[in-house]
Every structure is written in C-alpha cells, then in structure tokens.
Amino acid sequence: MIKKILIVLLVILVTIQFIHPKKNQSAGEQPNAIAKAYPVPQEVTDILKVSCNDCHSNNTHYPWYNNIQPVAWWMNNHVNGGKKELNFDEFTSYTPQRAHHKLDDLIDEVKEGGMPLPSYTWIHKNAILSEAQKSTLINWAQSVMDSIASKYNLPEEEDQKERP
C-alpha cells in the first residue's frame, strides 16, 4: 500500500514539472516606471534592484530552482502578491492618493523590518537592508511622497506628522 502511494506521488511530482506559471519578465523600458515621473538616485536604484524589484516590478530575476515545481508556483504567488501591493514599474499609473499611500506603506514596512520578506532574504542574503540602506530608502520615499502631496495638494496624514 505504501509503495503504491509513493508511486502515485512520484507520478504526480513528475507530471507537475511540465506545468509552469507565466514568468514575470518584460522587455524594454517600462513606460509607467516610477523613474519616469520622480527622481530615483542611483543609490536607491541599486537598493531597489537588489532588495525589491524581484517582487515589486515587471521583471523578476529567477534562480535555477524556479524550474522545479511546486517552487515556481510558490514564487509566482509571492511575485504576484508583491506586484499587487506595489509595482515600481506601474507606479505612474496609480492615482496620486494611491501612490502616496503606497510609499507611506513602504516606509512603514522598511522601518518595521517587514520588507524584504524573511522568506526572500533567507536565500538572498544580499537583499537584507543595512541601517544606512533603510535610511536612504525611507528618505527617498518620503521625498517622493512630499513631491506628490505638494503637486496634487494632498492633505497631510497624521502618521506622517509624527515622522522625524
């Protein structure tokens, strides 16, 4: 009985290797990228590239183990969830209020250590943000938020007033 169960599981495991989700990869420049509307210093670009863009852009760098199921499905779920929350390549398509709110969320997540996800940094050790990188990212996000608020005359939120 156990032998039959193991054979069935093996057949299922082999079969699912042929079913892959669509990869998150886009060619060329992204017309709605955040850098099209707001300054993104090279230091911030480097941080985003290493620690954020795999899940928060239209271009994910896939490791070799993404070719193994069910790992690819799990990663695809993470990438889609990340893009749904914040996509730097679709940022200029957001309403000013949504863009402002997403950057506010980014600041909170970085400050609290919620981003990048521990499940990502477990394998991608270089994605762990140093205190200096956190500060750089937070200061940049705050400056973009200020620019959005000023440009679109958005009301100042209470939690922003408390930030140093």
pTM of the model: 0.83
Residue-level pLDDT, tens digit, the chain, 164 residues: 899 998 888 887 778 788 788 888 887 889 999 999 999 999 999 999 999 999 999 998 888 887 888 888 888 888 999 999 999 999 999 999 999 999 999 999 999 999 998 888 888 899 999 999 999 999 999 999 999 999 998 876 544 444 44
H-assigned helices in the chain = 2-16, 42-51, 53-56, 71-85, 96-112, 118-121, 131-152, 158-161
Q: How many domains would you assign to the chain?
A: 1
Residue 124 backbone zone (phi > 0: left; psi -120 to 50: alpha; other: beta): beta
> What domain range is 33 assigned to?
2-161
